C-alpha cells in the first residue's frame, strides 16, 4: 500500500461519508443548515474518521455500521472548533484560511451551529441501528454510542476544554498533572473514540480494544506535545501560524513546563509505546492496514507541520 | 387524585430523578460540574419530565426505563436556556430570580456548560439500555433516543431557535407560517418528546403514540400563544416579567400578528382538540393518570401566569 496515495483516497472517502450525512431541515432553519455545512466542509485532515476507517478495516468490520460513526465523530470535532473559535473562547477570526463560523453567520448563529452539529452527530450515529443484523452488532452499536459520548463529554473532550479555559485565566496555577489532563482530554479522547469504535464495531477482541485505548492516549498526547514543540522550533510557513505564539501569549505548554529536551524525549517514548502496542495487536485480520496505521501514527507524532 | 398535591409530589420526584443523574467529572473539570449543577438545579416547573412521567404511568410503563429519559429531556431544556441567555442571544442576566449561568461563570464557561449538558443528556438517556429486559424494550429505547434527538435538533428545537433568532433581526419578514414554525419547534417539539417517549417506552399502541404527537403540538403551540396573550393582558407581578415587553421590543407575536381575539379563539380551539384527543386514547391503562394529565394540559393552556 502506497502511504501518500492511500491517505489521499481515504481522506476523499471521509469527505464523501461526511457529505452523505450533512444535516437537513425545514426551509425556516436554512441558515443553520448552511452554517453547519460551511463549518463541516471546511477541509482539514479528517484525521478522526480516517483513523476509525483504518482501524475498522484492520479488523474486517462492515463499513455500513462504521460510516455513521465516522461522520458523527467529525461532527463532534467540528462543533468543538466552532464553539472554541467564539469571541468568548479563543476569539479566532480565521481557521484554515477561511473565516470562522461566527464571523460569517454571527455569534448567536455560531452558538446554535455548534449545538446543531453535536445534536446531528448523535442523530447520525443512531442511524447505525438501521444496519444492525444481529445481537452482537446491536450491543456493539450501543457500546460505541456510549464511548463516543463519554469521550466527547465532561469526562472527555469538554472536560479538557474546561481545564484549558481555566488554565488560560490562571497560567501560574497549571501543574504538570493539569497539563497532561488537558492534552489527554482535549485531544486523546477523540482519537480513542476513533480507534476503539472502529475496533468494537468490527468485533475485535477485548484485549485489542483496550490496547487501542492506550495507543490512542499515547498518540493523542504525543501529537499535542509535538504541537507545543513546533510552536518553538517550527517553520511559520509550513505550520500556517506564527511560531512562538504560545510563549508570547503567556500560555503554559509542555515545552515551557518541562523544557524542549524532555518534551522531545517524552514524545519519543510515547511514540515507541504506541508502535510496540500497535505491532503486538492479536486479532488483526488485515496486516496491510496495520502497517498503514503504524505509518500513519508515526507521521502524526513525527510531523513537522 | 388531588391535582395540586399530585403536582407537588410529582415535581419533587422530577427533582430527585434529575439529582440522581447530575453530571460528574474529574477534579480538573470541577468548575463545569458546578456550573452544570447550578444551571440544572435552578428550580422551574420540570414540566417536560413531569409530562413524561405522567404519560408513562398512564400506560403502565416501568420507571427504570423512563427515568434516564426524564433527566435527559430536562438537561436538553436546560442547555437550551443556558445558551439562549448568552449575550449573543437573548442577553438575560436573570432567570427565575437567579443570575444566569454566564453571569456567574463567565461566557466561555457558559458555552461549555450548555455543550456539557447536551452531551450529558445523551449519556444519561443511553443508560436506559442497562435496564432493557427484552427486544421490545431494546427497540423502544432506540426509538425514544431517535425521537429525543430529532425533536431537540435542527428538525426540532434548534431549528425553531434559528427561525426565532432570524425573526428578531428582521421582524418585518415574519409570516404567519414562520411564527407557527417557531412556536411549534421551539416549544411543542420538546413536549412531543415528553408525551411520546413516555408512551413508547411503556409499549403504548401506535395510534396512541401518534395521537399524543398531535396533542403535544396543540398543547405546545397553545402554551406559546397563551404566553403572547399574557404579555398583553397579564399581571406583571404574577408573571414575574414586564407586561407589554414584546410590543416594546418590536417583537412579532401571535397577538401582534393576528390580534387578541383570534389568539384567544385559536388557543381555545387547540385546547379543545388536545382534550378530545386525550379523552379518546385507546390503550390507556390508568384512567386516574389520564384524568390528571387532562387537568394538567388544561392548566397549561388556561394559565394566568
Predicted local distance difference test score (pLDDT) of residue A305: 60
| Nearest-angstrom CA–CA distance, A194 and A45 | 14
Residue A28 has its nearest CB partner, among B86, B111, B178, at B178
Note the pLDDT tens digit of each residue in B183-240.
999 999 999 999 999 999 999 999 999 999 999 999 999 999 999 999 888 766 555 5
Task: Give, in order, the Cα–Cα distances in Å from B216 to each of A247, B51, B70, B211, B221.
Answer: 55, 10, 16, 9, 8
The answer to whether residue A239 scores a pLDDT higher than 90 is no
Query: Nearest CA of chain B to the CA of A128: how many Å?
Result: 11
Per the prediction, chain B carries an average pLDDT of 94
pLDDT for residue A140 is more than 70: yes
Instruction: Pick B29's closest partner by Cβ from A28, A119, A162.
Output: A162
Task: Yes or no: say if B254 and B191 are a contact pair by the CB < 8 Å rule.
Answer: no
SS3 for A52-73 is HHHHHHHCCCCHHHHHHHHHHH
How far is it, in rounded angstroms, from Cα B145 to Cα A300?
A: 36
User: Residues 63..92 of A with a Cβ closer than 8 Å to B: which?
Assistant: 79-80, 83, 86, 88-89
Of B21, B27, B29, which to mutate for an interface test with A (greatest number of A Cβ within 10 Å)? B29
Q: Please give the distance of CA A26 from its chain centroid, rounded to a whole number.
A: 30
pLDDT value, residue A243: 67
Q: pLDDT category, B35, cuts 50, 70, 90?
A: very high
Does B123 contact chain A (CB < 8 Å)? yes
Contact A218/A274 with Cβ under 8 angstroms? yes
Phi and psi dihedrals of A98, rounded to 5? -110, 155
Dist CA B84 CA B70 (whole Å) = 21
DSSP assignment of B16-85: HHHHHT-----GGGHHHHHHHHHHHTS----HHHHHHHHHHHHTT--HHHHHHHHHHHHHHHHHHHHHHT
CB A243 within 8 A of CB A236: yes
Average pLDDT in the B151-155 region? 97
CA dist A292 and A288 (Å) reads 6
- A219 Cβ contact list (under 8 Å, min separation 6): A188, A191, A270, A274, A297, A300, A301
Those residues whose C-beta lies under 8 Å from the C-beta of residue A304, and which sit 6 or more positions away, are A230, A234, A235, A238
Grid cell in block for residue B126: 443511553
Quote the minimal CA–CA distance from A167 to chain B in Å: 10
CATH hierarchy code of domain A3-302: 1.10.600.10
Sign of CA dihedral B166, B167, B171, B173: positive
Using an 8 Å Cβ cutoff, are A154 and A9 in contact?
no
Q: How confident is the model at residue B173 (pLDDT cuts 50, 70, 90)?
A: confident
Overall residue count recorded for chain A in this entry: 305
What is the rounded average pLDDT of the residues B77-105?
Answer: 96
Buried b (16+ CB within 10 A) or exposed e, A71-102: bbbbbbbbbbbbbbbbbbbbeeeebeeeebbb
Give me chain A's average pLDDT, please.
Answer: 94
Task: Give, in order, the Cα–Cα distances in Å from B19 to each of A185, B29, B69, B260.
Answer: 25, 19, 13, 41
Contact status of A109 with chain B (Cβ, < 8 Å): yes
Which of these, B154, B218, B212, lies nearest to B184 by C-alpha position?
B218
Q: Any idea which residue has 465516522 for its cell?
A: A70
Residue A294 contacts B where some CB pair is shorter than 8 Å: no
Q: Would the pLDDT of A207 be above 90?
A: yes
Q: Which one, of B193, B164, B182, B166, lies nearest residue B224 by Cα?
A: B182
Give ipTM to 2 decimals. Answer: 0.96
pLDDT level of residue A249 (50, 70, 90 thresholds): confident
Q: What is the pLDDT of residue A172?
A: 84
Half-sphere exposure of A224 (CA within 13 A, CB side): 22
User: How many angstroms separate the Cα of A256 from the Cα of each of A244, A261, A270?
Assistant: 11, 11, 19
- Calculate how close chain B gets to A259, using CA atoms only, in Å: 23
pLDDT over 90 for what percent of chain A?
A: 86
Domain boundaries, chain B: 3-302
Above 90 in pLDDT, residue B243?
A: no
Amino acid at each position: 500500500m502506497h502511504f501518500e496515495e492511500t491517505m489521499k483516497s481515504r481522506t476523499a472517502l471521509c469527505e464523501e461519508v461526511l457529505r452523505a450525512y450533512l444535516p437537513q431541515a425545514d426551509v425556516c432553519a436554512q441558515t443553520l443548515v448552511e452554517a453547519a455545512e460551511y463549518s463541516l466542509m471546511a477541509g482539514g485532515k479528517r484525521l478522526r474518521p480516517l483513523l476509525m476507517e483504518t482501524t475498522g478495516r484492520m479488523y474486517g468490520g462492515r463499513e455500513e455500521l462504521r460510516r455513521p460513526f465516522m461522520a458523527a465523530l467529525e461532527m463532534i470535532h467540528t462543533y468543538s472548533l466552532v464553539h472554541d473559535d467564539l469571541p468568548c473562547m479563543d476569539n479566532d477570526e480565521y481557521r484554515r484560511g477561511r473565516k470562522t463560523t461566527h464571523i460569517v453567520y454571527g455569534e448567536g448563529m455560531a452558538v446554535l451551529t455548534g449545538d446543531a452539529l453535536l445534536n446531528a452527530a448523535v442523530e447520525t450515529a443512531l442511524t447505525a441501528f438501521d444496519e444492525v443484523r444481529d445481537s452482537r452488532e446491536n450491543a456493539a452499536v450501543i457500546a460505541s454510542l456510549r464511548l463516543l459520548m463519554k469521550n466527547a463529554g465532561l469526562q472527555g473532550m469538554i472536560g479538557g476544554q474546561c481545564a484549558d479555559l481555566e488554565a488560560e485565566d490562571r497560567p501560574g496555577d497549571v501543574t504538570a498533572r493539569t497539563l497532561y489532563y488537558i492534552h489527554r482530554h482535549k485531544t486523546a479522547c477523540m482519537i480513542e473514540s476513533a480507534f476503539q469504535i472502529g475496533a468494537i464495531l468490527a468485533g475485535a477482541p477485548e484485549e485489542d480494544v483496550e490496547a487501542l485505548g492506550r495507543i490512542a492516549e499515547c498518540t493523542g498526547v504525543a501529537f499535542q506535545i509535538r504541537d507545543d514543540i513546533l510552536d518553538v522550533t517550527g517553520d511559520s510557513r509550513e505550520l500556517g501560524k506564527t511560531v512562538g505564539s504560545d510563549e508570547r501569549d503567556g500560555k503554559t505548554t509542555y515545552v515551557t513546563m518541562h523544557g524542549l529536551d524532555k518534551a522531545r524525549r517524552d514524545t519519543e517514548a510515547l511514540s515507541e509505546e504506541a508502535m510496540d502496542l500497535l505491532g503486538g495487536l492479536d486479532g488483526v485480520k488485515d496486516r496491510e492496514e496495520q502497517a498503514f496505521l503504524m505509518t500513519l501514527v508515526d507521521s502524526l507524532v513525527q510531523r513537522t507541520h
